[in-house]
């Protein structure tokens, strides 16, 4: 399974764009890249998933370079409610040993 490395924490201000990069140097051919958001006292919540290039939904964008050895989650115009821990997860489909890294604690300031 591909090990992931993320920054431990990031600070930002309301209205700014937040970019979190995850390194996964030994990603396998069949692996997807998935990002989760976790608020205190809650289970993680799916944000976005991709395999290559760029994926965008109503919440975030995910940029994946051609070599797939890293990925960047982009949160546009963050608000205070985006303060959370963000996890990058790399692995193949359901039924496998899906392990989380340490996550990135994002603090959005007014």
Partner 1 sequence: NAGVTQTPKFQVLKTGQSMTLQCAQDMNHNSMYWYRQDPGMGLRLIYYSASEGTTDKGEVPNGYNVSRLNKREFSLRLESAAPSQTSVYFCASSETGEKLFFGSGTQLSVL
Name which of residues 2 to 31 contact partner 1 (CB under 8 A). Answer: none
Taking the C-alpha atoms of residue 44 and residue 70, their distance in angstroms, rounded to an integer, is 21
Name which of residues 34 to 53 contact partner 1 (CB under 8 A). Answer: 34, 36, 41-46, 49
Of the pair 66, 94, the CB lying nearest partner 1 is at 94
Find all residues with CB under 8 Å of 77, minimum gap 6, and list them: 15, 16, 17
Least gap, CB of 92 to partner 1 (angstroms): 7
Applying CB under 8 A, among 9, 17, 25, 98 the residue interacting with partner 1 is 98
Angle (nearest 5°) at CA 64 between 25 and 16: 115
With CB under 8 A as the contact rule, which of the stretches 18-26, 53-61, 76-84, 98-106 interacts with partner 1?
A: 98-106
Of the pair 32, 63, the CB lying nearest partner 1 is at 32
Measured from the Cβ of residue 9, the count of other Cβ atoms closer than 10 Å reads 11
Measured from the Cβ of residue 21, the count of other Cβ atoms closer than 10 Å reads 15
Taking the C-alpha atoms of residue 87 and residue 102, their distance in angstroms, rounded to an integer, is 7
DSSP at 77: S
Asked if residue 89 binds partner 1 (CB under 8 A), the reply is yes
Q: Which residues are near partner 1 by CB under 8 A?
A: 32, 34, 36, 41-46, 49, 87, 89, 91-103
């Amino acid at each position: 399974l591909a090990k992931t490395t993320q920054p431990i924490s990031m600070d930002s201000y309301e209205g700014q764009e937040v970019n979190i990069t995850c390194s996964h140097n030994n990603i396998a051919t069949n692996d997807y890249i998935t990002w989760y958001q976790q608020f205190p006292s809650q289970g993680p919540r799916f944000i976005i998933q991709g395999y290559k290039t760029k994926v965008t939904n109503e919440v975030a964008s995910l940029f994946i370079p051609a070599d797939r050895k890293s990925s960047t989650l982009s949160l546009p115009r963050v608000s205070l409610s985006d303060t959370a821990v963000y996890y990058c997860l790399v692995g193949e489909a359901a039924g496998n040993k899906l392990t989380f890294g340490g996550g990135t604690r994002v603090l959005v300031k007014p």
